[in-house]
Amino acid sequence: MIKWEFTLVEPALTTEGDQVRAGFPLFASFDTSQEFLMQKMARFVDGFLGTGDANNKKGKPRRPQFNAHVVSQMIGTEAMAKIAVIKSKNPIMSATTSPP
């Protein structure tokens, strides 16, 4: 299991029109035993590093292997994200990222 913590850097509106303040924490967990969740995590990495699949049509650099060095490159970076936060006992965040 890989757990990530994000912080909202700009205020944002919810779909209901409420405002979420900058600094609001967001969390995402990826169960590395499930392939589709690994693909979602790869999209997160691509959003933060500006990378893509090998031989992608946009000519982006190939996504690096996910390791401690890659994580250190991602700390402090910003990316645009579209999120859906679901309230429950165990909050879940679903997101797709795109480069800023």
Structure-token pair, residue 26: 């967001």
Residue 89: band (very low, low, confident or very high) from pLDDT cuts 50, 70, 90:
low
Residue with the larger pLDDT of the pair 27 and 97: 27
Give tens-digit pLDDT for 31-64. 878 887 778 888 878 887 888 888 889 999 998 8
Strand runs (DSSP E) across the chain, as ranges? 2-7, 12-13, 19-20, 25-30, 80-86, 92-98
Strand runs (DSSP E) across 8-87, as ranges? 12-13, 19-20, 25-30, 80-86
Full-model pTM: 0.55
The helix (run of H) or strand (run of E) holding residue 74 is helix 68-74
Region of residue 59 (phi > 0: left; psi between -120 and 50: alpha; otherwise: beta): left
